[in-house]
Structures are given as structure tokens and as C-alpha cells.
Amino acid sequence: MTTNKSPSLSPPNRMRRMSRRALIKTATVAGSAIAGTGITGLLSTAIANSSGSADNSYPKYYFPYHNKPATVVDFGLTPEQEDRARALHSKLFVFDFEPEVDWFEGLFDNMLAGKAGAVGGSFTIDAFYWALVHGFEENLEITKHDWWTMKNIRENVEFIRGKEQTEGKSIICLDSTDLEKAAAAGKVAMMLDCQNSFYIGNQLDNIDEAYDHGIRRTQLAYNRGGGLASGCMDPRDGGLKVFGQECIGRMNDIGMLVDVGHSSPLTMLDTLHVSEKPISCSHAGLRSISPKNPRTHTDEGLRGLADHGGVLGVVGSPSTFGPELPQNSDVPAFLNCIDYAINLMGEDSVGFALDQVQALSMKEFLTSPDWPPEAVASVNVDMWPWSDGFKGMENHSGYPNLTRGMVSMGYSDERIMKVMGGNHMRLIKEVIG
């Protein structure tokens, strides 16, 4: 399978196409291990890293936390508590409801690094073709026309199947039985989702086609609303539309999760009244904690979600962790959001979703029509990757910090198992099968 329109690029040329910031970061990481090396040596090391990929279409480790462990947070645990957390984590099925919206070399290694009993997540594949993004800041292959299509769904399924063969670290899962099989095989259990409904157009049958490709969750609207519902950044909240109601009915019928993560507050409330099955709010923050951030939902909506058997994935975006949209934060602040959600919704309705973006450069990301400058400003994204400012969760190797943190908060093993993946697994089994 072809994964790059320019497969003949030599490593030095690919290196020139990396962002200056990414190059500096790569050189810094390399320099920490090579004392006294001059800039020529650092560049040589970075180029060597970029050319060693199993797939030469991709620069290798162009951001530090592609292959650098997440910070181990000091929660002040006793040796006995550390032992308890380690033993519990080794039994967990960690299910991150939106771990990453792209692919980079090292992603699955990071997810597996915490040595959980099993690891999985729901991955977005309608946004763009993963083979078009490389962390470049010039000569971009992705454009605004490459976002939110059925073609992306088809091509990314092929891409992921290729990685199953070449890397052997992941398995596409279609239902809860597949998730259990992936866990038994020690693979990352991948469910596939769409973060937008644009692929549907005005044809209900497109939902069935996406399902046949492996899609098991669709978000009714992204930042901007479309033909189904209003999104979280629409200037007027129009809620759910008539065609959106019809789409929910089709999703209910075939066993596809209806999702309101990026949707507007009224869209969530309307959807709760229409859907005959529990729904997900896959990745969102809490309006009560971060009232300025449009990527949050109200207490009213979240209580309704819980009352209808749904699950919230508390999003791991630092700007949702406080009222002033912080860029730098940490796992304790994230756990404070999770704790608020549990007290609001109950422990059976809360999970987590990191929603990281570690393959794209910011220039690649900003080709999205949903992220004009004013949208970026509304969520206060300047650091890139923004996860670099999330101490203890700079990448997915930080999952054990969540378990350790919840032990420090006095949570029971049962509660920790639910938050770390059990609640989402319950929802998947109930709605998808």
C-alpha cells in the first residue's frame, strides 16, 4: 500500500521538510544522551532517527514524546500503595475513548508501555488520511479539501490493516468479543469512529457503508454543525435537526454508538430524548470547571447522559482543566476533573479520553476547516504538541499515572476499573454487541 505521495524523498530532504521546532526538539532529545556532541552530530543523529523507520514515508520520532516516557508523577504513595497500583494496573483493561486522532511510529508502543492487562481505544478515521501527515511545516501534503470524507474512512482502514501486518501491535475490533480477543493476544484493541457526520451527506445508506467499513461510533457534529446537528462552536445552538433524528434511528438499528463529544449542549439534550439506546459523550470537558472553553458540556447535560445509561470520556486537554484555559497542567488536575464528573454523574458513567494529536505539525492541523484562528484561540492552543504541557501524560505511556493517582485519592479497585475502561466496555457491549 502506498502511504506517501513522495516515497522517493531521501532522509536529508525529509529532514529539511520537518519543522524547525521539531528538529530542535529531536536534536535536544538526542543531545541529552550524547554529551558534548556538536550541532553537526545532533543533526546527523536526527537524520539517522528519521531514516530508521519501518516505513520510510515517515520521519521517525520527530517530536520528543514519540519515544520518550511520560513523567512519573509523585503522588506521595507508600510502597504498599505503589504495589497495589501496579498489581491493579496489570489487571485492567485500559480503554481510552479517544486516544489519538492519527498514527506515528511509537504510538502503539507507548500505549502498551504501562503493562496494563489490556489496552484499547476508539480511533478517529474520517478526519484525514493518516498517510498525508508527517509533522511537516512546508510542502504540506494535506489540504483543507482532505478533511471529513468517506474516502478517508476507506483509505485509513487499509492503512491500519497494513500496520496490523507490518507492526503486528494492533487489531481492528468490531465488537466486545473482538476486544477480548485482542486483549488475550496482547495487542492494542482498536475500535474505529468518525468525529463528524459529514461523510453521511444526506444519505442514510452512508451510515451502513461506514458500518461495513468498521465504524462503530459517529459524532453528530464537530465544531461546526452540519446537516444533523449543531456543533460546540456554532454561534447559535440549534440542537438536533430532523435528519439528525433519522440518522440516530439508523445508528440505533444497526448498533452504532451515537456520540455528542464535540456537539453543542442542546444537541446533547435533544439526542438524549431521541435515541432509544444509551449514547456516548466520547471526549469533552466540564463546563463547571472550564466555563470559557466551548469544548465542554453542562452539568445538566451530563446528568442526563448518566440517567440514560451513557458514558462521558473526560477529555485530557489541559485547557479544560481550569477556568483560565491552562496550557501547562498535570495528571492531578485531570483527575480533579474526573472526580468532579464522578460526583456529578456517578462512578458508572465516567471514563477518560486523552484526545492527543502527536503526528501532525500545527500547520498540518490548521488545514482543517474546523480550526480557524478564532477556534484555536477559544481553546488556547499555542504549545504544540499540546500534550507536551500535560505533565505525567505527555503520551500514552502515562496511563499508569491515572491508576496511581486514583489510588492516592482513595478510590476502590472497582471504581478505578470502571473509570479506566470498564464503563466504556459496558457501553460497547450494550449498544454495539
Is residue 299 within a helix (H) or strand (E), and if so which, with residue range? helix 299-307
Instruction: Answer yes or no: do 189 and 281 share one domain.
Output: yes
Domain presence at residue 253? yes
Is residue 359 within a helix (H) or strand (E), and if so which, with residue range? none
Strands 188-194 and 118-124: parallel
Is residue 170 within a helix (H) or strand (E), and if so which, with residue range? strand 170-172
Instruction: Answer yes or no: do 52 and 104 share one domain.
Output: no
Paired strand residues for 285 = 296
Domain presence at residue 1? no
Domain presence at residue 2? no
Instruction: Answer yes or no: do 214 and 86 share one domain.
Output: yes
**For residues 204, 209, 210 and 214, what is the CA-based torsion angle, rounded to 10 degrees?**
140
Instruction: Answer yes or no: do 45 and 143 share one domain.
Output: no
Q: Is 17 helix (H, G, I), strand (E, B) or coil?
A: helix
Backbone phi, psi, residue 208, to 5°: -65, -40
| Nearest in space to 290 (alpha carbons), one of 314, 312, 270 | 314
Q: CB–CB of 332/76 below 8 Å?
A: no
Q: Is 327 helix (H, G, I), strand (E, B) or coil?
A: coil
Instruction: Answer yes or no: do 152 and 99 share one domain.
Output: yes
CA angle 412, 418, 421 (to 5 degrees): 135
**pTM of the predicted structure, to 2 decimals:** 0.88
**Domains in the chain, number:** 2
Instruction: Answer yes or no: do 39 and 113 share one domain.
Output: no
pLDDT (tens, 9 = 90+) of the chain, 433 residues, equals: 333 333 332 232 333 333 333 332 333 333 333 233 232 222 222 323 333 333 446 788 999 999 999 999 999 999 999 999 999 999 999 999 999 999 999 999 999 999 999 999 999 999 999 999 999 999 999 999 999 999 999 999 999 999 999 999 999 999 999 999 999 999 999 999 999 999 999 999 999 999 999 999 999 999 999 999 999 999 999 999 999 999 999 999 999 999 999 999 999 999 999 999 999 999 999 999 999 999 999 999 999 999 999 999 999 999 999 999 999 999 999 999 999 999 999 999 999 999 999 999 999 999 999 999 999 999 999 899 999 999 999 999 999 999 999 999 999 999 999 999 999 999 999 999 9
Instruction: Answer yes or no: do 56 and 96 share one domain.
Output: no
Paired strand residues for 189 = 120, 171
Instruction: Answer yes or no: do 241 and 317 share one domain.
Output: yes
What pLDDT was estimated at residue 318? Answer: 97
Look-up: residue for cell 514515508?
A: 57
Q: How far is CA 350 from CA 197, 223, 402, in A?
A: 24, 23, 14
Domain presence at residue 70? no
Instruction: Answer yes or no: do 42 and 151 share one domain.
Output: no
Domain presence at residue 58? yes
DSSP 130: G
Cis peptide before 12 (omega within 30 of 0): no
CATH number at residue 213: 3.20.20.140
What pLDDT was estimated at residue 262? Answer: 98
Instruction: Answer yes or no: do 177 and 259 share one domain.
Output: yes
Measured distance CA(250)–CA(215) in Å, rounded: 13
For the chain, the C-alpha Rg in angstroms (whole number) is 21
Three-state SS for 66-117 is HCCCCCCCCCCCCHHHHHHHHHHHCCCEEEECCCECCCCCCHHHHHHCCCCC
Instruction: Answer yes or no: do 15 and 87 share one domain.
Output: no
Measured distance CA(262)–CA(219) in Å, rounded: 7
Look up the domain containing 140 and give its range: 79-431
Instruction: Answer yes or no: do 367 and 293 share one domain.
Output: yes
